[in-house]
Amino acid sequence: MKTPSDSNAESAPITEEEYALLSQLRANPIAAKRFRAIMGRFEQEVAAGMDAHEAEMMVIEEIQELGRSLLDQWAENTHKDILEKERPNSVLAFDI
């Protein structure tokens, strides 16, 4: 069975949509890592003969994990942004 990495897509010019996706993946390394894991697992399972039901269940589980990863990264970035914005306005004991 053919997998996504077997295609000739690697030789095609990069589209605007692909540039946008690459930019998003670079900005979200946790999501990028998770997405690579999903694609790798899917390709392995398909090559091993996974049936449609198993494929559907695997994709659902992986997408849920991707969602958790995205939310975790968002929370981490938001927390960091809040701390950076508050830092200049905070009064420390040695400033008094």
Secondary structure in 3-state letters for 35-82: HHHHHHHHHHHHHCCCCHHHHHHHHHHHHHHHHHHHHHHHHHHHHHHH
**pLDDT beyond 70 at 5:** no
CA 83, distance to chain mean position in Å, is 24
Share of the chain above pLDDT 70, in %: 80
- Quote the pLDDT of residue 1: 43
- Quote the pLDDT of residue 86: 82
Q: Give the three-state DSSP class for 93.
A: helix
Model confidence, pTM: 0.60
Phi, psi for 51 (deg, rounded to 5): -85, 170
- Tens of pLDDT, residue by residue over 39-73, are 998 899 889 999 989 988 998 998 998 899 889 88
CA 32, distance to chain mean position in Å, is 4
**pLDDT beyond 80 at 8:** no
What is the 3-state secondary structure of 23-43?
HHHHHCHHHHHHHHHHHHHHH
Compute the distance between CA of residue 10 and CA of residue 46 in angstroms, rounded to an integer: 20
